[in-house]
Copies of this chain bind each other. A is one copy, B any other.
Amino acid sequence: MWTDNQWAEPGAERPGGARRRATIHDVARLAGVSRQTVSRAVNDKGEIDPATKERVLEAARLLDYRPSRFARGLVQKGAVTAGLVIPDLRNPFFPEVAAGVLEAAEQRGWQVVVWDSRIDEARERQALDVLSHQADAVVGYFKDPDDVLARHLGGVPLVLLERGPQQTGFAAVGIDAATGVEQGMDHLFRAGHRRIGMLDGVHGPGPRRLAFLEQVRRLGLPVDEDWVVVCPEHSVAGGEAGMERLLAARPEITAVFGFNDLIAVGAMRTARRQGRSVPDDLAVLGFDGLSLGELVEPALTTLHIDKRQLGRLAVEQVARLRAGEEPLRGADAWVVPELVVRSSA
């Protein structure tokens, strides 16, 4: 026997003005049936007379009844919620990755809680704190080292985006920067470029910078610290600023390799503003393959990444983790960039 409603009438005003959420009991009582019958009506199951069903639904409507997703989830397992942590939704790269994650999740019947950490490590941790309580797994971009992540994770499976296996013990999916950069540098080299600069992203020397330096060495190009400039942010404005510094330090360069397409576009703008024509005076090579690269002038030559695939792979990793299988390691968890030659290089 359920305890009697402490309010005079079902759905009556509380003293504070707020209502106590109606439960299945309240509906059952108002409709004069049992909980189970209410459940049947609400969930559209069989074994119920159409007339009673209508009566129950009317009662539910009257009380503004909505089933508790918690009570439901407690008894019928299977609902999976993944967390997705993205550094910056305004960078067109990440919505594409997110689209891949959402697509793959939808196919599996999972839901995805999305967090935009806005390039703030504290917010990354905060996201982890919340998601570790509310999600069954987390995938995302994180800058913290493994031990910090583990502390905020409380045992929830994690899949890291764009972290090499040597950088983390967690499951990860990433980009084969080395192969991509090699293609790009070969292209520049074959076009006759020998003095090539790089506009790097903000976090310390990552795979792209290392691959760049590796290629510079392989091709026997001049190499010095100030051929690589770190841009203040991963945006067009960041690329413009970085390019100004790079051209000031190394005016003799004939080509520049951008950390991503936004930075590369910024580089082109600065170059042209300073009177250098692209690609004749200066070739610009991007990395990402954003669709915006087709729209700028000249169209951006870039290393195209299948960003949706990256997202889908991440979900596959989550699935493996959940199944207790070994996550994909190495090449299977990498997306290989593809050189797309347009006009800028």
A residues at B contact (CB < 8 Å): 17-19, 42, 60-61, 64-74, 79, 81, 89-90, 92, 94-96, 98-99, 102-103, 106, 111-116, 130, 133-135, 154-156, 236, 265, 269, 291-292, 294-297, 323-324
Can you report 9 residue pairs joining A to B where beta carbons are below 8 Å apart?
Answer: A64-B155, A69-B73, A81-B113, A89-B95, A102-B115, A111-B113, A112-B113, A295-B296, A296-B296
In the assembly, what is the distance between CA of A102 and CA of B127, in Å?
Answer: 12
Q: Specify how many copies of this chain sit in the oligomer.
A: 2
Whether A324 and B112, one on each chain, are in contact in the complex, defined by CB atoms closer than 8 angstroms, is no
Whether B155 and A66, one on each chain, are in contact in the complex, defined by CB atoms closer than 8 angstroms, is yes
Given contacts A68-B74, A156-B66, contact A90 B81 (CB under 8 A): no
Partner of A92, one of B92, B103, B106, B236: B92
Provide the residues of chain B in CB contact with A68, threshold 8 Å: 74
Provide the residues of chain B in CB contact with A291, threshold 8 Å: 90, 236
The 10 closest A-B pairs by CB, nearest first: A70-B73, A70-B74, A95-B95, A89-B99, A297-B297, A114-B114, A89-B95, A102-B116, A111-B113, A70-B70
In the assembly, what is the distance between CA of A297 and CA of B296, in Å?
Answer: 7
In the assembly, what is the distance between CA of A236 and CA of B292, in Å?
Answer: 10
